Amino acid sequence: MIKTWSTPVREETRRKEPCALCGGSAFTAYLCCEGFAYVCCKNCSLAQINPQPDEAAISGRYSGVNYLEYELANEEAFLNLGLLSLADADFYKFESELPVDARRVLDIGCATGALLAYLLGRGWQADGVEINTAQAEYARRERGVNVYHLPLEKNMLEGGAYSLIIASHLIEHLRRPRVFLAEARRLLAPGGRLFLTTPNCDGFQARLFKNHWRSAIFDHLYLFSVKTLSRMLEQEGFYIEKTLTWGGLAAGIAPRPVKAAFDKLAKRFGFGDVMLIRAALRG
Ligand SMILES: [Zn+2]
């Protein structure tokens, strides 16, 4: 199976960290990949790379122009997936109930800004966060959106400003996912929603392919299941409104009608390869 594109494995200083979900320090082996490995927390079962690289090593991974090239080569496919996610998360109903002046979105890890440009076209005030400079500049120049280039919590954005926060294929790359969720919570306006998309390590493909699973890559520091991500969201003050998973079989491993049928089942029964959680602020 072809894995998702990632920074090639490199030598980095790594340090053992407490579990990002429960603070536990006992782990069992989970997936052993080439040059790195995942462990599972014995207490809460969160899958993670641990020992972990430090902050500098991680931001260094995203500094090159490779990410821009990768995104541009796949932009249309990624945008289409993003639009399907919006529809599945009942975005359009949510949008229709919002006053026009409250339509303010923040896309964290916005890449080239294609989804933001779409939302801008629908009348949203559209801001992005993108630490890859080449992509941030591209999004500003080509898409006319406002993009902050520091990691989310370092931009000192105005609290309560956004009615929608989107983070697609982002949280699994972060060293401090809870800090990220706490900041997302602070930035949401009352009644706002968070749409989080990430690979599902409880899905059929992850179970079948194990260390060859396409999402078991060097850049993914965490592999979430619906259970572990829901728990982290709840602990950070969110409640879960809706959970969806997609993708039953990888393209190319089964005839198309078989794949289509399997994909439908995966979506219906929650064993898809990627999940989306729609969360709101609690109380
Ligand atoms: Zn844990």
DSSP output for 36-105: EEEEEETTT--EEE-SEE-HHHHHHHT-SSHHHHHHHHHHHHHHHHHHHHHHHTTHHHHHHTS-GGG-EE
pLDDT at 55: 86
For tokens 């399907």, the residue is: 84
Structural domain of 133: 56-209+224-281
Asked whether residue 49 is assigned to any structural domain, the reply reads no
pLDDT at 137: 96
Output the domain CATH number for residue 124.
3.40.50.150
User: What does R_g of the chain's alpha carbons equal in angstroms?
Assistant: 18
Asked whether residue 42 is assigned to any structural domain, the reply reads no
Q: Encoding tokens for residue 222?
A: 């965490």
Asked whether residue 30 is assigned to any structural domain, the reply reads no
Asked whether residue 179 is assigned to any structural domain, the reply reads yes
Q: How far away, in angstroms, is 48 Cα from ligand 1 center?
A: 9
Q: What is the DSSP letter of 260?
A: H
Q: How far away, in angstroms, is 95 Cα from ligand 1 center?
A: 36
Q: How far away, in angstroms, is 28 Cα from ligand 1 center?
A: 11
Please give the average per-residue pLDDT across 17-36, as a whole number: 95
pLDDT band at 4 (very low <50, low <70, confident <90, very high): confident
pLDDT at 251: 67
Residue 105 has pLDDT above 90, yes or no: yes
Q: Encoding tokens for residue 184?
A: 């997302």
Q: How many structural domains are present in the chain? A: 1
pLDDT at 261: 76
pLDDT at 1: 64
5, with CB counted inside 10 A (0-12, 13-18, 19+), is middle
Q: How far is CA 190 from CA 81, 161, 196, in A?
A: 28, 9, 18
pLDDT band at 269 (very low <50, low <70, confident <90, very high): low
Tell me the average pLDDT of the chain: 92
Please give the average per-residue pLDDT across 187-202, as a whole number: 97
Q: Encoding tokens for residue 97?
A: 């109930």
Q: How far away, in angstroms, is 26 Cα from ligand 1 center?
A: 8
pLDDT band at 136 (very low <50, low <70, confident <90, very high): very high
Asked whether residue 107 is assigned to any structural domain, the reply reads yes
pLDDT at 184: 98
Q: How far away, in angstroms, is 196 Cα from ligand 1 center?
A: 20
Q: Encoding tokens for residue 164?
A: 């929608």
Q: Which residues surround ligand 1, an ion (CB under 5 A)?
A: 19, 21-22, 24, 41, 43-44, 46
Residue 126 has pLDDT above 80, yes or no: yes
Q: How far away, in angstroms, is 25 Cα from ligand 1 center?
A: 8
Cα separation, 149 vs 147, in Å, equals 6
pLDDT in tens, 145-168: 999 999 999 999 999 999 999 999
H-assigned helices in 148-235: 177-187, 204-209, 226-235
Most confident stretch, 5-9, 40-44, 53-57, 76-80: 40-44
Asked whether residue 8 is assigned to any structural domain, the reply reads no
pLDDT at 218: 93
Q: How far away, in angstroms, is 174 Cα from ligand 1 center?
A: 16
Cα separation, 3 vs 265, in Å, equals 23
Asked whether residue 29 is assigned to any structural domain, the reply reads no
Residue 254 has pLDDT above 80, yes or no: no
Cα separation, 57 vs 276, in Å, equals 28
Residue 248 has pLDDT above 70, yes or no: no
Cα separation, 101 vs 116, in Å, equals 17
Asked whether residue 268 is assigned to any structural domain, the reply reads yes
Please give the average per-residue pLDDT across 124-150, as a whole number: 96
Residue 210 has pLDDT above 70, yes or no: yes
Please give the average per-residue pLDDT across 171-175, as a whole number: 96
Q: How far away, in angstroms, is 181 Cα from ligand 1 center?
A: 17
CA-based nearest residue to 180, from 18, 20, 16, 4: 20
CA-based nearest residue to 66, from 111, 124, 13, 3: 111
Please give the average per-residue pLDDT across 47-66, as a whole number: 89
